[in-house]
Amino acid sequence: MITVITDREQIAKLHRRFHKRLSNFLTDDIDCWVGYPSGSFEDTVKYSDELDIWISHNEQHNRFWNGFGVGRPRARRNNSLNGEINFPFEGIKRNIAGAFAQEDNGNILVLHRGRIGGGKPGIGKNYFKDNYRGDFETVIDDDRETEFCLVGELNSKYFPKQVANFIKEIYRVKHIEEGKISPDFEDLYNFNFTDEHSGRIETDRTRTTVIDRTHGIVVNALATELENRKYKIGNDRNRDLFIHRDNKIATLFEIKTSTSTQNLYSAVGQLIIYSIPIKNEVKLVIVIPKRLNKTVTKRLSQLGIQILYYEWTNDTPTFIGLEDILE
C-alpha cells in the first residue's frame, strides 16, 4: 500500500531532500527570465549539463513551487517552463499536482497527478496520462484511491535521472506533432480478456527497500533508439512500446527491469494477451537486463517471442542486438 504524506513537517523535510538529491547535478547558475503562460519573472536558475534540465523554485502561499525546463537556458533571455512538480505545504491539495508518498516498507515516492497544462490546445490530465511512457502507482489519497504518475524514488541512485525523464516526458507529450500521433487503434482498446477483478497482493516488510524503478527510463531510451532509426512508434496504457506502419502494429515490446520469475510470467502473458486483438502478424519482443539460459530462450522462441537485452552504461540503458530484432 502507498499513502500520500500530509504532515507539514515531513513534507518540508522531504522537499529539502528532493533538492539535495538534484543539487549534485544542477551545478550551473544562469541568470535569465523564466516564462510561463501569463507572464515571466527574472531568476537565477540551476542547470545540469548531464541531465539537460534546469529548475527554478520558490515558495508560494500554499506550496513549494518547482518549475523545470529542458535544454540549456539562454542567459538574460526568456526561457519557457516545460513542467512543474509542486508540493502542498500540508494536507491533500488535489489542485497541486505533486505529492510525496510512502510505501509500507518506508520507501518514499515522488508522484504527480498528471495535470500538466500548457502546450497546444487539448493538453491536460487525460491527454498526458494517455501518452505517458512512465509508470503509474495507485495511492491512498485521503478518502479515495488515486492513480498517480511516478516521478521517482527519492532514495534511488537513479532519482535525478527519473526526474529528468519525467520532465522530458512532459516536454515530449506537449510537443507531439500531428504526424507523430499513433493511428487510431480503437479496436485494441476495446478488447477485453476477462471481466474478473484480481485482488491485491500485500507484503509485510520491516525495513526501507528501494526498488530502483527504472521502467520509464528504459522505455524512453528504447523509444529514442527507434526514432533515431526512423521507425514510427507508439504506446498505450497496456502496451509499453510498439512499432507501427501502414496503420498496423508490426512489433510489440514489453519492457521489464528484472528477470524475476514473476516478471517473466507477466511479460509473456502481456505480449500474448495484448497481441490477440492485432489482426496482422506481429513480432513479439521481451526487453530485459539479464541473460536467460538457453532452455528458457528456446521455449520463448517456440512461443514466437524474441529477447532484446539491455545493460546499464553510466546509468544509461544500451540495447544489445537491436539490429537483429529489427531485421
Distances (CA, A) of 70 to 10, 50, 80, 280: 29, 12, 9, 39
| Adjacent-strand bridge partners of 31 | 44
For residues 233 and 299, state if they share a domain: yes
In a domain, 307, yes or no: yes
Sign of CA dihedral 180, 184, 188, 189: positive
For residues 163 and 237, state if they share a domain: no
Type of residue numbered 139:
V
For residues 63 and 133, state if they share a domain: yes
The torsion defined by the Cα of 288, 289, 293 and 294, in degrees rounded to 10, comes to 60
Name which residue leads in pLDDT, 227 or 181. Answer: 227
For residues 104 and 225, state if they share a domain: no
Distance CA 230, CA 228 (A): 5
CATH number for 218: 3.40.1350.10
Name which residue leads in pLDDT, 44 or 186. Answer: 44
Name which residue leads in pLDDT, 92 or 122. Answer: 92
In a domain, 173, yes or no: yes
Report the b/e string of 185-206 with b at 16+ CB within 10 A: beebeeeeeeeeeeeeeeeeee
pLDDT in tens, 22-42: 999 999 999 999 998 889 999
Q: What is the mean pLDDT of residues 80-92?
A: 97
For residue 55, the tally of other CB atoms under 10 A from its CB is 23
pLDDT in tens, 292-304: 999 999 999 999 9
Q: What is the mean pLDDT of residues 134-142?
A: 94
pTM of the model: 0.84
Name which residue leads in pLDDT, 181 or 265. Answer: 265
For residues 169 and 234, state if they share a domain: no
Domain that holds residue 51: 1-177
9 burial via Cβ count (<10 Å: 0-12, 13-18, 19+): exposed
- pLDDT above 90 covers what percent of the chain? 75
pLDDT reading at 179 higher than 60: no
pLDDT of res. 115: 87
Say which residues have a Cβ less than 8 Å from residue 316's Cβ, sequence separation at least 6.
Answer: 221
pLDDT of res. 7: 98
Under the banding of pLDDT at 50, 70 and 90, the label for residue 201 is very low
For residues 161 and 73, state if they share a domain: yes
For residues 1 and 124, state if they share a domain: yes
Domain count, the chain: 2
Under the banding of pLDDT at 50, 70 and 90, the label for residue 136 is very high
Say which residues have a Cβ less than 8 Å from residue 150's Cβ, sequence separation at least 6.
Answer: 109, 110, 111, 112, 134, 135, 136, 137, 162, 213, 216
The torsion defined by the Cα of 130, 92, 83 and 316, in degrees rounded to 10, comes to -70
Say which residues have a Cβ less than 8 Å from residue 149's Cβ, sequence separation at least 6.
Answer: 111, 112, 113, 114, 128, 129, 132, 134, 135, 136, 166
Measure CA 123 to chain center.
17
The torsion defined by the Cα of 127, 130, 133 and 138, in degrees rounded to 10, comes to 110
Distance CA 115, CA 235 (A): 19
For residues 58 and 151, state if they share a domain: yes
